[in-house]
Structure 1
Amino acid sequence: MKVSFFLTGRPGVGKTTVLLRIVERLKKQGFKVGGLVSREVREDGSRVGFKVIDLEDGREGWLAHIRQPVGPRIGKYRVCMRDLESIGVEAILKAIREADVVVIDEVGPMELFSQSFKRAVSEALESDKIVLGTIHYRIKTSFISKIKERQDVVIFEVTRENREGLPEIIIQKIQEIHER
């Protein structure tokens, strides 16, 4: 049976760092990995937004920015739906078609404004591909609850205590599934 893995944890604990370590190791082992990652962007030490990056080809755009003129608002940021969908959603759909492992960083409040994003996540989970993602720690929506309740989803909470050893545990599980 295919299994998907999601990392959760408090902001700043290292979810994306753990995920990127796993991705790097999987690529070295010959896995084809695709999907999207999000990274915060700082100017003069202050966070101004988040980029969305296609893992396969490196294309990037704004997920959200403090100076984004339009789009749904989350705190001081506005979500750039165009970049989220043309880069992020497309990266997920391409990974479903072409990769061994589909990466989704993150399933969180900004991304959930996009129905296309939610459909792409659902499609990835229903596919025969292994999904490796991050999921927002506190947000409670029916969409996130459905992901967490799936029998084929394993959730790992990233903590300061386990973040160094977690990549190896998850890589081992992915290898076992892939070898079946």
Structure 2
Amino acid sequence: MASKTYKYFILTGEPGVGKTTLTKKLVAEIVSKGIKTSGFYTEEVRYDRTREGFDVVGLDGARGRLARDQSLLNIPVKYKVGKYGVLVEEFEIIALPSLVKPNNTQAHLLVIDEIGKMEFFSEKFKNAIQTIFSPSSEYTVLATIPIRKSDKLIESIRNHSQAKVWTVTRENRNSIQEEIVNEINKTIRF
């Protein structure tokens, strides 16, 4: 019996466990095998070991602010998560164009780090995620989601029949990369 292949490769885990670091390592390995990638990751912004917020960074190198400690913002923000004000428009400028799949037939991996509460303040982003994870989608995706149950759409991704989910922990974060690459290789031959 042939092993099941998946379209969606999902990482979850506690905040700060290393999901983004693992995502970056996976992308570097996949790109080194000649596979095209697009998408974005989120990165902590720290100053003197204090977290000031998060940036959204496109795989093409474009960078913008996703969220900042409200005490550092000189503009009012509509959306907040804890002490952070979410900068939806700045996020959309980087994130939305990065979600476009190339028109050619070359193998491609879409990277979305992360699909979470801050990002979902953008209705445009949420709509794009619904399309990407729809039954007619032609995307192959590597994404991260929060470990805690939250939004209905995030839960539908976690439980999608074509999704393989890994829970990243401090114990396994340095040892599961090969397993994930092997699973992706079943879908995108490299």
TM-score scaled by length of structure 1: 0.92
- Do the aligned partners of 1:109 and 1:139 also contact (CA within 8 Å) in 2? no
Given candidates 8, 11, 24, the residue that maps to 1:20 is 24
1:128 Cα deviation (Å)? 1.5
Distance in 1 between the 2:82 and 2:170 partners?
A: 26
Residue 64 in 1 paired to residue 67 in 2?
A: yes
The Cα RMSD (Å) is 1.8
Moved over 4 A (4+): 96-99
Distance in 2 between the 1:54 and 1:124 partners?
A: 17
Q: In the alignment, what sits opposite 1:91?
A: 98
Q: In the alignment, what sits opposite 1:52?
A: 56
1:95 Cα deviation (Å)? 3.8
Q: Work out the number of aligned pairs and report it.
A: 178
Residue 104 in 1 paired to residue 112 in 2?
A: yes
Q: In the alignment, what sits opposite 2:174?
A: 164
Q: In the alignment, what sits opposite 1:122?
A: 130
1:88 Cα deviation (Å)? 0.9
Distance in 2 between the 1:77 and 1:145 partners?
A: 24
- Do the aligned partners of 2:101 and 2:110 also contact (CA within 8 Å) in 1? yes
Distance in 1 between the 2:46 and 2:88 partners?
A: 20
Distance 1:43 1:32, change over 3 A: same
Distance in 2 between the 1:114 and 1:80 partners?
A: 9
- Do the aligned partners of 1:33 and 1:100 also contact (CA within 8 Å) in 2? yes
Distance in 2 between the 1:39 and 1:51 partners?
A: 5
User: Which ranges in structure 1 are unaligned for 5 or more consecutive residues?
Assistant: none
Distance in 1 between the 2:148 and 2:86 partners?
A: 19
Q: Which has the larger radius of gyration?
A: 2
Deviates more, 1:127-136 or 1:23-32: 127-136
Given candidates 40, 43, 52, the residue that maps to 1:39 is 43
Q: Which has the higher helix share?
A: 1
TM-score scaled by length of structure 2: 0.87
User: Which ranges in structure 2 are unaligned for 5 or more consecutive residues?
Assistant: none
